[in-house]
Protein backbone atom coordinates (compact mmCIF):
# COMPACT_ATOMS: atom_id res chain seq x y z
CA UNK A 1 0.00 0.00 0.00
CA UNK A 2 1.20 3.47 -0.81
CA UNK A 3 1.94 6.08 1.85
CA UNK A 4 -0.91 8.30 0.63
CA UNK A 5 -3.44 5.50 0.93
CA UNK A 6 -2.68 4.92 4.60
CA UNK A 7 -2.92 8.62 5.48
CA UNK A 8 -5.79 9.55 3.16
CA UNK A 9 -8.43 8.18 5.51
CA UNK A 10 -9.74 10.36 8.32
CA UNK A 11 -10.95 7.33 10.34
CA UNK A 12 -7.50 5.69 10.07
CA UNK A 13 -5.86 8.88 11.28
CA UNK A 14 -8.29 9.05 14.20
CA UNK A 15 -7.48 5.43 15.08
CA UNK A 16 -3.75 6.20 15.03
CA UNK A 17 -4.23 9.29 17.20
CA UNK A 18 -6.29 7.32 19.72
CA UNK A 19 -3.78 4.50 19.94
CA UNK A 20 -0.96 7.01 20.27
CA UNK A 21 -2.63 8.80 23.17
CA UNK A 22 -4.27 5.84 24.96
CA UNK A 23 -1.98 2.94 24.12
CA UNK A 24 -4.05 -0.20 23.74
CA UNK A 25 -7.76 -0.41 22.91
CA UNK A 26 -10.22 -3.01 21.72
CA UNK A 27 -12.22 -2.62 18.53
CA UNK A 28 -15.45 -1.72 20.33
CA UNK A 29 -13.76 1.05 22.33
CA UNK A 30 -12.22 2.50 19.19
CA UNK A 31 -15.55 2.36 17.33
CA UNK A 32 -17.37 4.03 20.25
CA UNK A 33 -14.81 6.81 20.65
CA UNK A 34 -14.63 7.59 16.93
CA UNK A 35 -18.38 7.06 16.45
CA UNK A 36 -17.97 4.75 13.46
CA UNK A 37 -19.45 1.26 13.22
CA UNK A 38 -17.54 -1.81 14.34
CA UNK A 39 -17.17 -3.35 10.85
CA UNK A 40 -15.65 -0.18 9.38
CA UNK A 41 -13.17 0.18 12.25
CA UNK A 42 -12.29 -3.50 11.97
CA UNK A 43 -11.49 -3.04 8.27
CA UNK A 44 -9.23 -0.07 8.97
CA UNK A 45 -7.45 -1.98 11.74
CA UNK A 46 -6.87 -4.97 9.46
CA UNK A 47 -5.31 -2.68 6.86
CA UNK A 48 -3.08 -1.01 9.45
CA UNK A 49 -2.08 -4.43 10.78
CA UNK A 50 -1.26 -5.69 7.27
CA UNK A 51 1.05 -2.68 6.89
CA UNK A 52 2.73 -3.56 10.17
CA UNK A 53 1.69 -0.31 11.86
CA UNK A 54 -0.55 -1.80 14.52
CA UNK A 55 -0.50 -5.16 16.24
CA UNK A 56 -3.39 -7.26 17.46
CA UNK A 57 -3.25 -8.98 20.85
CA UNK A 58 -5.78 -11.64 21.75
CA UNK A 59 -6.99 -11.97 25.33
CA UNK A 60 -9.60 -14.68 25.25
CA UNK A 61 -12.22 -13.40 22.83
CA UNK A 62 -11.12 -9.79 23.15
CA UNK A 63 -8.93 -8.28 20.45
CA UNK A 64 -6.75 -5.40 21.58
CA UNK A 65 -4.78 -3.17 19.24
CA UNK A 66 -1.75 -1.00 19.80
CA UNK A 67 1.15 0.36 17.79
CA UNK A 68 3.54 -2.34 16.61
CA UNK A 69 6.61 -1.54 18.71
CA UNK A 70 8.94 -3.38 16.32
CA UNK A 71 7.83 -1.52 13.19
CA UNK A 72 9.84 1.43 11.88
CA UNK A 73 6.66 2.71 10.18
CA UNK A 74 4.82 2.68 13.51
CA UNK A 75 7.68 4.45 15.28
CA UNK A 76 7.78 7.13 12.59
CA UNK A 77 4.02 7.68 12.79
CA UNK A 78 4.14 7.92 16.59
CA UNK A 79 6.95 10.47 16.37
CA UNK A 80 5.00 12.49 13.80
CA UNK A 81 1.90 12.49 16.02
CA UNK A 82 3.92 13.52 19.08
CA UNK A 83 5.60 16.40 17.24
CA UNK A 84 2.28 17.48 15.76
CA UNK A 85 0.57 17.52 19.17
CA UNK A 86 3.49 19.36 20.82
CA UNK A 87 3.44 22.05 18.14
CA UNK A 88 -0.35 22.33 18.31
CA UNK A 89 -0.20 22.95 22.06
CA UNK A 90 2.57 25.57 21.81
CA UNK A 91 0.80 27.52 19.05
Q: CA 76, 81, 82, 84: dihedral to nearest 10 degrees?
A: 120
Distance of CA 53 to the CA centre of its chain: 8
State the pLDDT at residue 86. Answer: 86
pLDDT of 7-34, one tens digit each? 899 999 999 999 999 999 999 999 999 9
- The stretches of the chain forming alpha helices (DSSP H) are 3-7, 10-22, 27-34, 38-50, 72-90
Q: Using only the alpha carbons of the chain, give its radius of gyration.
A: 13
Work out the pLDDT band at 43, boundaries 50, 70, 90.
very high
Q: How far apart are CA 35 and CA 2, in angstroms?
A: 26
Residue 88 has pLDDT above 80, yes or no: no
Confidence of residue 6 (pLDDT cuts 50, 70, 90): confident
In whole angstroms, give the CA distance from residue 81 to residue 76.
9
Distance of CA 28 to the CA centre of its chain: 14
pTM of the model: 0.90
Amino acid sequence: MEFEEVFSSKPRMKILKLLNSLGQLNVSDIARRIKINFATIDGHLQLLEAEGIVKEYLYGRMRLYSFNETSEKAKAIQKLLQVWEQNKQSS
